Amino acid sequence: LAHHTVFDTPILPGTAYLDLALHAADHTGHTTIDELLLHTPLALPEHGGVQVQIIVTGSDRPTVEIYSRPDGDTGDWTRHATAVLIKDDPQAGFDLTTWPPADATRLPLDAAYDRLHEAGLRYGPAFRGLRAAWRRGDELFAEVALPPEERGDVTDFGVHPALLDAALHGAALHWLDGTPSGHSNLPFAWSGVRLHAVAATDLRVRVRLGDAGSLSLQAADPTGAPVVSIDQLRVRPVAADQLHAGAAKHDGLYRVEWSPLDLVPAAREAWAVLGDHTLYDELRQTATATYYEDLTALT
């Protein structure tokens, strides 16, 4: 995860939340992530670990909530993502057996990761999976692959987060020109996500660009067999200071801790009650009261 850094802050990639939600779908007998929303990035601490909690509620359209807090912390959990799961037709409905794509123009990638680095998207070797790219109108095509050292644990995932993240790098390059200075585009809303096969190490990818900051994605293995499809993904620009603030929250040297104080019991109020036994009896429950029959007794 240290290989996924945005403006020098390691954050959990959006594709990792997607994989967690896909696992929840598999365990609950659902086929599709109807919608997944990312609320706040999970900035990873420089030292120590992070606890992650996944809560699934409901049965017909289960809701998945993903939370975190620093290791050893017993305080509040931070909510990072919510998803809704549904059952629908799991058929892929696409075919990428014809490859490379016809009538597409090959794109140069020599400086691709240098350009992304300058824009704040700083990927280490595990995430540098973009191998080739083409464009045809509003379609982007790519070949992506996991490095050899990352392939041993692919069975732990529905689709490896680093591999699926790399499938988005062609679009990330396309969006660089329209991104405000000091910001990077990060995924925040996914819809219609279906997993068709597991344990992929290489992908053929077709991305169709939508309106500003949106796309759809279809990915297949090297034979063209479907692996994963996304009806829509939307990104939004995130500023560097937002990520730094999140990192500080999880990695502070100091924390506020409350120490209990021994409270000195307050003195009971003293009352003088003249001629009213009912009031006298009530006051004795919470205060010191003295009863006087009349004014003569009081003096």
The DSSP-derived string for 94-157 is ----S-SPTTPEEPP-TTHHHHHHHTTEEE-GGG--EEEEEEETTEEEEEEE--GGGGGGGGGS
243 and 295 fall within a common domain:
no
In-domain check, residue 123: yes
Q: What are the distances in angstroms from CA 102 to CA 85, 136, 200?
A: 36, 9, 24
In-domain check, residue 92: yes
246 and 271 fall within a common domain:
no
In-domain check, residue 260: no
97 and 141 fall within a common domain:
yes
Cα–Cα distance, 12 to 14 (Å, whole number): 7
In the chain, % of residues over pLDDT 70: 87
Query: CA 127, 128, 131: angle at the middle one, nearest 5?
Result: 135
* Averaged pLDDT of the chain: 89
Cα–Cα distance, 187 to 35 (Å, whole number): 13
242 and 273 fall within a common domain:
no
Counted domains in the chain: 2
pTM tops 0.85: no
Q: What are the distances in angstroms from CA 205 to CA 6, 14, 32, 186?
A: 24, 18, 19, 19
In-domain check, residue 259: no
241 and 272 fall within a common domain:
no
Domain enclosing residue 20, as ranges: 4-251
Cα–Cα distance, 50 to 52 (Å, whole number): 6
156 and 289 fall within a common domain:
no
227 and 121 fall within a common domain:
yes
Q: What is the pLDDT of residue 276?
A: 66
293 and 230 fall within a common domain:
no
In-domain check, residue 258: no
121 and 203 fall within a common domain:
yes
In-domain check, residue 110: yes
SS3 183: strand
Mind listing the pLDDT tens digit of every residue in the chain (299 residues)? 789 999 989 999 999 999 999 999 999 999 999 999 999 999 988 888 999 999 999 999 999 999 999 998 889 999 999 999 999 988 888 999 999 999 999 999 999 999 999 999 999 999 999 999 999 999 999 999 999 999 999 999 999 999 999 999 999 999 998 888 888 999 999 999 999 999 999 999 999 999 889 999 999 999 999 999 999 999 999 888 877 665 555 444 334 455 566 665 656 667 777 776 677 677 676 677 776 777 667 66
198 and 146 fall within a common domain:
yes
In-domain check, residue 165: yes
231 and 279 fall within a common domain:
no
277 and 158 fall within a common domain:
no
Query: What CATH number did the domain enclosing 214 receive?
Result: 3.10.129.110
